[in-house]
Chains A and B, each alone.
Chain A
Amino acid sequence: MTRRRPFLVAPLLLAASLIAGCTSSSASGDDSIDGLRIMVPAKPGGGWHQTAQALQDVLQREKLATGVQVFNLEGPGGVAGLNKLVGEKDDELLMQMGKVMVAGIINNKSEKTLKDTTPIARLTGESLALVVPADTPFRNLEQFLTHWRGDPKGTVITGGYVADVDHILAGLIADRVGIDPAQLTYLPNAGGGESVARLLSGEAKAGISGITEYSEHIKAGKLRAIAVSGAHRSKLLPEVKTLTEQGMGLTYLNWRGVVARPGLSEQAKQRLVNAVTKMHSSPAWKQTLKAKDWDDAFLVGPEFTSYIETEDAAARKVLREIGLVN
């Protein structure tokens, strides 16, 4: 009968290690933030999650914070995470957010907005790629646009979620080349990665998403990139021209940043701003940006706050043109 105990204990041990994994922390430097938490309001693996993990990694390596945990709270447009943040009382909590959330709030008609948070910093910018399946006749942007103009409704464009940056860029390009954005046929997916399957099956004529979502398939010869949306070419796809280079006066970056709970004291806010500012100037962060091919889009203080307002107005305008909101 003595043998039965270890078997019973096994699942409990697993549970215990789970709890321990969440609370472990170690001794820290003088002004470092102890037990910082970063909420990712989306599922693991995506762009927000990667940014939060990079932040966690560099903050800890530079001893700017200790015991940093990243956790996910999934929900459309990140609105579930936003609602959670608004009710928080924790000063050492950052929420990962970005351009996607600005549009997500509008599209989901959320009562809470980014005005209900304390903006801390904009950190990175990422170019999007416009791709076509490798077996289509379109060799370049011009050929594809000609086809699109000829059949705006029948040309299916795919990418991530509805009202995601991918969707918005599709609308912006349409508008720029003289196609009514309301005619856009956009096939949404749960994340840009899933749009690859719809491109390879031949259902979608073109796809728009983050370069990292497509780069592996481009290298494998299954997709062909015909444009990138940033101001300059991507290091991952050096031979692909930007939209501007191809005569379309349009640059578009998917930026990501962090915000804190509403009603944060000036002192607590300054602590968080200082930590990310120091992190931003560290060589480790520059290394991370390079490895991930992210642009440095660092912006703090009132400039970041007013930037969010500009972005909100711009997103509202495009979503109205696409016909998603009235």
Chain B
Amino acid sequence: MGSLDLLLDGFASALSAQNLLFAFIGVLLGTLVGVLPGIGPAMTVALLLPITFTVPPAAALIMFAGIYYGGMYGGSTTSILLNTPGESASVVTALEGNKMAKAGRGAQALATAALGSFVAGTIGTLLLSLVAVPVATWATSLTSADYFALTALAFCTVAAMLGNSPLRGVASLAVGLYLGLIGIDKITGQSRFAMGIDELNRGIPVVIAAVGLFAVGESIYVASRLRHGPVNVIPVSRTWGLPKADLKRSWKPWLRGTFIGFPIGAVPAGGADVTTFLSYATEKKLAGKRGNEFGKGAIEGVAGPEAANNAAAAGVLVPLLTLGLPTSATAAVMLAAFTSYGIQPGPLLFDTKPELVWALIASLYLGNVLLLVLNLPLAGVWVKLLRIPRPYLYGGILLCASLGAFASSQSVAGLLVLVVIGALGFAMRRYGWPIAPAVLGLILGPVAEENLRKALQISQGDAGALLSSTFSKIMFTLALLAIFLPLILRRRTRSD
């Protein structure tokens, strides 16, 4: 069967009542958490991971993908109307979007963000359906050494690009790598860093770590500074469409954002956040005589980055599905969802579980349509959410987090681990360490270690084998570039 037939079968499955319901819940929850500052899609998927014990795999994964896409839509609303990004990929949107809202053009900013997200999300999903199978086929020839090189690249880019301080990024990554080492080593049966505690011998479950770092840490952080007054939301009229003049200014940035976002999301290089900055810079450069509008509410500066972050979300799914490598925190948590069903994303996924993958991809097309409907006319409703009293919201989150940790570990010790990791997450948040590198380190660290040991076992200890293939040479070169390029660029801007 060709990919098209499989995709059509996927649509049939995605349109079944159950899967459609979960897709709807997913995009609804995604938009919700995207809108609320401080709660992102990664944390939401982490909180909902325990449903993998009761819900069939296709339904749960469809819901998680809906949350991922939805978060990208919802984040822009908060950025524009509150000047507080709902999630990290919408930081750039606030630059122009909030200025537009203050100038009374909030409706147009919301519309270009939602329409741009739809255009980019749909094109991105189309590209995903086109490249996934060729990439997966090619990836079957990748050796353990190649995988190790890929993870090394992911570590370098994630640590260097996320957040504003590379040092904090590296430190956060190190925390994650360390957490990943705890437990009994599968190969030798040695207990590592368990400090004689039996619960730690089983290793730190990804669910508990992700929920602890994201949800518990964030909740304590919010509670710790809950002393300011009510939020100031800029009121906005109903948004139904985009005036012709704005559409004319928006469509090119949408497309440019899409083609910046997708490829960068698809390479293991740090996910959606980077692409929004790139898109913003591109639009500013191309604006020509309109360049002076930037900083005062240029619609291009909303259209481009919003398209870029949605296209990147689709791009991130390429390495996740075909290589089993997550390149963003949400993807990392989604990988945990796959593995808790005993499904290993990777080159063989399209062979072993075609019905599941294609139902997931088909649901992304549907999810985009649902999101457009949810976000364009209902933007006003979402804004009201920003008025939920924080204590209720975070109280509920802490309850869900504890339930989730207990359900996945079946013991009180799991809750204790959650509390300790939650405290760690709070400390990291308090001192401005980005959380995402830690989660990626925890998930990719064991992958890197396993592949490194396998590669060395096959070569009987010859470390040269790590650089034996062209692919691994390219990956290590890119990894070095990822470390040194930002340093060089920074030096140059300083000397300018």
Residues of A at the B interface (CB closer than 8 Å) are 1, 3-4, 7-8, 10-12, 14-15, 17-19, 21-22, 43-46, 49, 71, 73-77, 80, 83-84, 107-109, 153-154, 156, 161-162, 185, 187-188, 190-191, 193-194, 196-198, 200-204, 216-217, 220, 222
Contact = CB atoms under 8 A, between A and B. Distances in A.
B348 interface: yes
B410 A15 contact: no
Contacts of A1: 387
Contact of B201 (A4, A75, A162, A217): A75
Given A71-B410, A197-B140, A15 B400 contact: yes
Contacts of B340: 43-44
B342 A14 contact: no
15 contacts: A7-B385, A17-B54, A18-B51, A18-B403, A22-B54, A45-B343, A71-B410, A75-B184, A75-B201, A76-B186, A77-B189, A84-B411, A109-B189, A162-B187, A197-B140
- B interface SS class: helix
A18 B408 CA distance: 11
| Interface pairs A-B: 10 shortest CB-CB | A45-B342, A21-B54, A200-B140, A44-B342, A75-B202, A108-B189, A201-B143, A76-B184, A80-B202, A15-B403
A203 B458 contact: yes
Contacts of A204: 458
Interface in B359-418: 381, 384-385, 387-388, 392-393, 396-397, 399-400, 403, 407, 410-411
Interface of B: 25, 28-29, 32, 47-48, 50-51, 53-54, 140-144, 184, 186-189, 198, 201-202, 339-344, 346-348, 351-352, 381, 384-385, 387-388, 392-393, 396-397, 399-400, 403, 407, 410-411, 450, 454, 457-458, 460
B396 A74 contact: no
Contacts of A156: 457-458
Given A108-B189, A187-B454, A190-B186, A4 B140 contact: no
A96 to B, nearest CB: 14
Contacts of A22: 54, 407
A169 to B, nearest CB: 18
A161 B399 CA distance: 36
Contact of B396 (A11, A190, A196): A11
B454 A14 contact: no
Given A11-B400, A12-B400, A15-B403, A201 B142 contact: yes
B396 A198 contact: no
A12 B381 contact: no
Nearest to B28: A10
Contacts of B400: 11-12, 14-15
Contacts of A108: 184, 189
B201 A203 contact: no
A45, A153, A217 — which one has the most chain B CB atoms within 10 A of its CB? Answer: A45
A12 B189 contact: no
B355 to A, nearest CB: 13
Contacts of A8: 388, 392-393, 396
A84 B56 CA distance: 27
B347 A43 contact: no
Given A10-B29, A18-B51, A83-B198, A216 B388 contact: no
Nearest to B33: A11
Given A18-B53, A156-B457, A161-B186, 19 more contacts: A4-B384, A8-B388, A11-B29, A17-B54, A18-B50, A21-B54, A43-B339, A45-B341, A71-B410, A73-B410, A75-B201, A108-B189, A154-B460, A162-B188, A188-B186, A190-B450, A191-B342, A194-B344, A201-B140
B319 to A, nearest CB: 15
Contacts of A80: 201-202
Contacts of B450: 190
Contacts of A74: 202
Contact of A4 (B347, B352, B385): B385
Nearest to A43: B342
B482 to A, nearest CB: 25
Given A43-B340, A45-B343, A197 B348 contact: yes
B32 A7 contact: yes
Contacts of A222: 351
B415 to A, nearest CB: 15
Contacts of A161: 186
Given A75-B184, A187-B454, A197 B399 contact: no
